[in-house]
Amino acid sequence: QLVYPYDFRLTEKEKTSICYLSFPDSYSGGLGDTQFSFRLRQSGGQRTTHYEDDGEYNREAPLMLQRESAHYFGYVYFRQVKDSSMKRGYFQKSLVLVSRLPYVNLFQSLLQLIAPEYFDKLEPCLEAVCNEIDQWPPPVPGQTLNLPVMGVVIQVRIPSRVDKPGSSPVKQFNQENLLPAPLVLPSVHELDLFRCFQPVLIHIQMLWELMLLGEPIVVMAPSPTVSSEMVLALTSCLAPLRYCCDYRPYFTIHDSEFKEYTTRTQAPPNIVVGVTNPFFIKTLQHWPHILRVGELRMSGDLPKQVKVKKLAKLKTLDTKPGIYTSYKTFLHKDKTLIKRLLKGIQRKRPSEVQSALLRRHLLELTQSFIIPLEHYIASLMPLQRAITPWKNPPQIRPFRQEDFMKTLEHAGPQLTCVLKGDWLGLYRRFFKSPNFDGWYRQRHKEMTQKLEALHLEAICEANIVAWMKDKSEVEIVDLVLKLREKLVRARCQHLPVKEETLQRVGLYIETIIGSLPEDLQTVLHHH
């Protein structure tokens, strides 16, 4: 019915997709208000965002919170109430916030404030809210922001890549005597993991492995809320490793990728997809891992845990909750985690304390797995003394899986993790996954930039006048052009180089040009 701000361009295909994704697609008897999220592939070419500082934000934000360039996130507030004046006897409407940022907590909290007002006052309410949001500062990683909207100030800290993983958000919020007292969000994006994972706590190990390996998983849930929370919880459980595969927190039969995912002619894609329509049980039963969950109810004791079952047991009509898979885990189960969570339930520990336990456990698991890889890749970097000013910097040595495997005997995950099992088999499988590829590319890019930065520093330390003594004009001009290109690249790619280093290289270039005959100087200055 309405898009605000008006100048926001969506293609017809995107509009249709957003419409279908904004409503529960299977009969939900529940009345009232529900919230859920979706993720949508952008169609129709790249569009310029009005954020020109994308690069800067993405360099400083944690990898999992980067702005997406090819997808939109949709955050939905859906209301369904009886209304005799409507043709169907119901009022059904959704307000959807579309963003490239995965800030599920911030945007869902924002919708809780705006949506009830919007259903009541309609368009003028959105206009007022958009005017306020236009005044918000951009999200800067590491900063705490105060965001005024509708008489409330939302206070939230934007995480940064340099935050220590697993440290709880800094509590020192600058209160600045804000009146009324701000609505403080503990995190922009972290879900209540304990609540989301309730029915599968005893299988957390298996789910972590499936996510690590980028396996295709279907989450079948009774509602878009349960489906989207479970998918987002799964994709977050590898932090600080980035989950590099595709994921759809909520997916309907009207989706343009429906054919792509349900075809039997090729293997299912590396994706986690959340669905609620029972029709999917039939069309996706060839997928290797299907997680079927019921309604999430927070109760005083350990919720009924689902069982692992054979895929053949998947009944099309009345599918019982369970993990339908033939996957055998590489690592053994961690009994201590379950014991600690159970103790927490008995002691009526708040959900966020239980979530913190769970998150710490997953973090330690991921770090035990990734640290040996980090050590090995760091050893592929050339020695600092091999970087000389007048030669191109040496290459990073290639990653050899077998060499890496040899390092595991004395420096493997067994040093930091109590879990026993087939770690080697897990690494071998991981090497075939998009998550390894994404991790390796990211590290290789960072190392290449570091080399380039070290090379610029070596040039700065060098005695350029001594070098020039026995060189021909051609060699000197060649050096000027190379140094210039390096300088441009360092600025464009924001290499980790001190500003004074760049200025010194700039001065060097001027000095060298100054020593050349005047006709060459003119040419180089124009160049």
Say yes or no: 388 and 506 in one domain: no
pLDDT at residue 18 is higher than 90? yes
H helix intervals, 188-251 = 193-196, 204-212, 224-236
- Report, as an integer, the average pLDDT of 290-301: 77
Which DSSP letter does residue 288 get? S
The count of domains in the chain is: 3
What pLDDT is attached to residue 27? 64
Query: What is d(CA 467, CA 465) in angstroms, rounded to the nearest whole number?
Result: 5
Say yes or no: 138 and 17 in one domain: yes
- The answer to whether the beta carbons of residues 172 and 93 sit under 8 Å apart is no
What pLDDT is attached to residue 94? 93
Query: Cα-atom radius of gyration of the chain, to the nearest Å?
Result: 27
Query: What is d(CA 433, CA 438) in angstroms, rounded to the nearest whole number?
Result: 9
> Of 395, 419, 436, which one is at a domain's C-terminal end?
436
CA distances to 201, 326, 338, 396 from 206, in Å: 10, 11, 14, 35
Average pLDDT value for the chain: 86
Query: What is d(CA 374, CA 411) in angstroms, rounded to the nearest whole number?
Result: 11
pLDDT at residue 405 is higher than 90? yes
H helix intervals, 213-325 = 224-236, 258-262, 279-283
Say yes or no: 31 and 123 in one domain: yes
Both tokens assigned to 375: 């050590």
What pLDDT is attached to residue 318? 64
- Report, as an integer, the average pLDDT of 511-520: 80
What pLDDT is attached to residue 76? 96
Say yes or no: 100 and 136 in one domain: yes
Say yes or no: 415 and 486 in one domain: no
Both tokens assigned to 294: 């019921």
Query: pLDDT-based confidence at 107, cuts 50/70/90?
Result: very high
What would the 3-class secondary structure string for 25-91 be? CCCCCCCEEEEEEEEEECCCCCCCCCCCCHHHHHHHCCHHHCCCCCEEEEEEEEEEEECCCCCCCEE
Say yes or no: 337 and 421 in one domain: yes
pLDDT in tens, 142-195: 999 999 999 899 999 999 988 887 665 555 455 556 566 788 988 999 999 998
Query: pLDDT-based confidence at 316, cuts 50/70/90?
Result: low
- Report, as an integer, the average pLDDT of 138-142: 92
Judge whether 449 lies within some domain: no
Judge whether 448 lies within some domain: no
Query: What is d(CA 305, CA 310) in angstroms, rounded to the nearest whole number?
Result: 16
> Of 185, 219, 235, which one is at a domain's C-terminal end?
185
Amino acid identity for residue 309 in this structure:
K
What pLDDT is attached to residue 274? 95
Judge whether 219 lies within some domain: yes
> Of 185, 214, 243, which one is at a domain's C-terminal end?
185
What pLDDT is attached to residue 277? 87
- Report, as an integer, the average pLDDT of 112-135: 90
Q: Which residue has the higher pLDDT, 27 or 101?
A: 101
In this structure, the number of other CB atoms found within 10 A of the CB of residue 402 comes to 6
pLDDT at residue 465 is higher than 90? no
Q: Which residue has the higher pLDDT, 310 or 178?
A: 310
Judge whether 155 lies within some domain: yes
Residue with tokens 């030669």: 391
Judge whether 7 lies within some domain: no
SS3 291: strand
CATH number, domain containing residue 261: 3.40.50.11500
Say yes or no: 252 and 371 in one domain: yes
Q: What is the dihedral of CA 65, 16, 127, 123, to 10 degrees?
A: -140
What pLDDT is attached to residue 166? 65
Of 120, 75, 123, nearest to 96 (Cα)?
75
Say yes or no: 410 and 503 in one domain: no
For residue 285, report the phi and psi dihedrals to the nearest 5 degrees: -75, -5
- Tell how strand 90-99 and strand 71-82 pair up: antiparallel
Say yes or no: 92 and 211 in one domain: no
Angle of helix 499-514 versus helix 434-461 axis, rounded to 10:
50
What pLDDT is attached to residue 56? 82
Say yes or no: 142 and 223 in one domain: no
Identify the weakest region by mean pLDDT among 243-252, 287-296, 496-505, 517-526.
517-526
Amino acid identity for residue 243 in this structure:
Y
Judge whether 123 lies within some domain: yes
Length in residues, the chain: 527
Say yes or no: 116 and 257 in one domain: no
What pLDDT is attached to residue 388? 82
Q: Which range in 53-67, 309-323, 375-389 is most confidently predicted, on average pLDDT?
A: 375-389
In this structure, the number of other CB atoms found within 10 A of the CB of residue 391 comes to 10
What pLDDT is attached to residue 172? 47
Judge whether 373 lies within some domain: yes
- The answer to whether the beta carbons of residues 445 and 228 sit under 8 Å apart is no
Say yes or no: 391 and 278 in one domain: yes
Task: Provide the domain limits for residue 30.
Answer: 12-165+175-185
Query: What is d(CA 21, CA 385) in angstroms, rounded to the nearest whole number?
Result: 57
Judge whether 224 lies within some domain: yes
Query: pLDDT-based confidence at 45, cuts 50/70/90?
Result: low
Both tokens assigned to 472: 């021909």
pLDDT in tens, 230-284: 999 999 999 889 999 999 999 998 887 888 888 888 888 899 999 998 888 888 8
